[in-house]
């Protein structure tokens, strides 16, 4: 997934042409220290998920936070329903065209840095709903860091996705981090 593929107008629209989703270019980021590493460590172990649960996958997400799997063991315990208080968007369930603007709005409202896990076949690609009202993968609208397959994914699979995301954060490979890095490189280039 590259930024270019985010926000292409891909659907026929009644009326005016679409305004693509706004993708922040990272220009408001200026911190450039070695401290980042440490902060990333801290961030990866204290993710605050926002469960954007819409359908059946949300039920499995519930199982994941319940006693049997207990997501809090991975530091992602405080499920927040306010986008302002969370940095991990877990899209669990089918996103329809009616729901897509809501999802984009929530993603935009989340404080940076932010990460996205797409849970389940529907959120990743639309699954077996190749249909007139279903978004064929949320990466049409927002950048996704980890895709968890399954319908619904087992709680283990979601936890695996979470661990994968943690690894990515530590290695600086998430979408957000790469965007920041690119913005920095550009700024550097402009200075020298």
Partner 1 sequence: MSMSQEKLESFRRAFPPSRGVEEIPGQDIPTFQVERELLPELARRLKDDPDFDFKMLSDVCGVDWPERQARFDVVYHLYSLTHNHRLRLKVPVSEQDAVVPSVYGVWRAADWFEREVFDMFGVRFSGHPNLKRILCHPSFQGHALRKDYDPGQRWLLREGEQDEPSWAREVQEDEDHFETQVLNLGPSHPATHGTLRTVVRLDGEVITRAECEIGYLHRCFEKMSERHTWNQIIPYTDRLNYCSAMMNGVGYALAVEKLLGVEAPPRAQVIRVILSELSRIMDHIVCIGANLNDVGAMTPFLYVYQAREEIYSLLEACAGGRLTISYVRVGGLANDVPEGFEEAVRYLLRRIPPLVDDMERLITENRIFRQRTEGIGKLSAAEAVDWGWTGPCLRASGVPYDVRKTNPYLGYETYDFKVPIATTGDTYARYLVRVEEIRQSLKIVEQALKRLAPGPIITDNHHVALPPKEKVYTEMEALIWHFKLIMEGMKVPKGEVYGFTEGANGELGFYTISDGGGSPYRLHCRPPCFAVFQAYPHMLEGHMIADSIAILGSLNIIAGELDR
Partner 2 sequence: MRNTDVVVCDPKPLRFWQRFYLVEVLKGLGVTLRHFLGNLFGRKYTVTVEWPEVKREYSDRLRGRHVLLTREDGSPRCVACYMCETACPADCIHIEAEEDPTSTVEWEKRPKVFNIDLLRCVFCGLCVDACPKEAIIMTRHHEMAFTGREEAVATIDTLLQKGPIDRIDLGYRPYYGRESRPITLPIPVRVEPAPKAPRPDLAATP
- Where does this chain bind partner 2 (CB under 8 A)? 1, 67-70, 73, 121, 124-128, 130, 137, 139, 145-151, 153-157, 159-161, 163-165, 168, 173
Minimum separation from the CB atom of position 8 to partner 1 (A) = 11
Q: Of 26, 48, 52, 148, which lies in the binding site for partner 1, with binding defined by CB under 8 A?
A: 52
Nearer to partner 2, 8 or 105 (CB): 8
Give phi and psi for 114, each to the nearest 5: -135, 150
Minimum separation from the CB atom of position 108 to partner 1 (A) = 10
Minimum separation from the CB atom of position 35 to partner 1 (A) = 34
**Taking a C-beta distance cutoff of 8 angstroms, is the pair 152, 60 a contact?**
yes
When asked if residue 120 is in the footprint of ligand SF4 (CB under 6 A), the reply is yes
d(CA 163, CA 99): 28
Nearer to partner 1, 30 or 132 (CB): 132
């Amino acid at each position: 997934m590259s930024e270019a593929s985010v926000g292409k107008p891909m659907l026929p629209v009644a009326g005016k042409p679409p305004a693509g989703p706004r993708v922040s270019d990272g220009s408001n980021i200026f911190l450039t220290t070695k401290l980042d590493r440490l902060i990333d460590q801290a961030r990866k172990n204290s993710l605050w998920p926002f469960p954007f649960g819409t359908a059946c996958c949300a039920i499995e997400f519930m199982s994941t936070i319940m006693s049997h799997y207990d997501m809090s063991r991975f530091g992602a315990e405080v499920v927040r329903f306010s986008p302002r208080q969370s940095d991990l968007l877990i899209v669990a369930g089918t996103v329809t065209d009616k729901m897509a603007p809501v999802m984009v709005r929530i993603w935009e409202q989340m404080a940076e840095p932010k990460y996205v896990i797409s849970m389940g076949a529907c959120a990743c690609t639309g699954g077996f709903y190749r249909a007139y009202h279903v978004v064929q993968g949320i990466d049409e609208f927002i950048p996704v860091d980890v895709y968890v397959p399954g319908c619904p994914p087992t709680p283990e699979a979601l936890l695996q996705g979470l661990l994968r995301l943690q690894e990515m954060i530590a290695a600086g490979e998430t979408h957000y981090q790469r965007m920041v890095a690119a913005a920095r490189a550009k700024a550097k280039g402009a200075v020298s």
